[in-house]
Amino acid sequence: KGIKFNVLENHSKFVEITKLDRNKVKLQVHKSYQEKIKKLKDFCDGLLKEIKHPAPRLAILNIKERIDKIMRGKE
């Protein structure tokens, strides 16, 4: 039940943990990584413009979707 903080401590360089209340925690990507992740998204957008074949396009879209999930942060 709840989040094992020892697991999250390993990722503290990457994820910012904000305690909202007694049993709610918000995870957000550190600002320093947000810029790098944005560059990665822009790179994916550039690839999508160039690549017309459906298989690699699907892979790139999946990557973008995962990036979006990470950036939104989980509550």
Number of domains in the chain: 1
pLDDT score of 1 more than 90:
no
pLDDT (tens digit, 9 = 90+) per residue, 27-70? 677 777 788 888 888 999 999 999 999 999 999 999 988 888 87
Average pLDDT rounded to a whole number, residues 6-26:
64
| pLDDT of res. 74 | 56
- The three-state (H, E, C) secondary structure of 30-61, written as one string: CHHHHHHHHHHHHHHHHHHHHCCCHHHHHHHH
One-letter amino acid identity for 29? V
Structural domain that includes position 31:
5-72
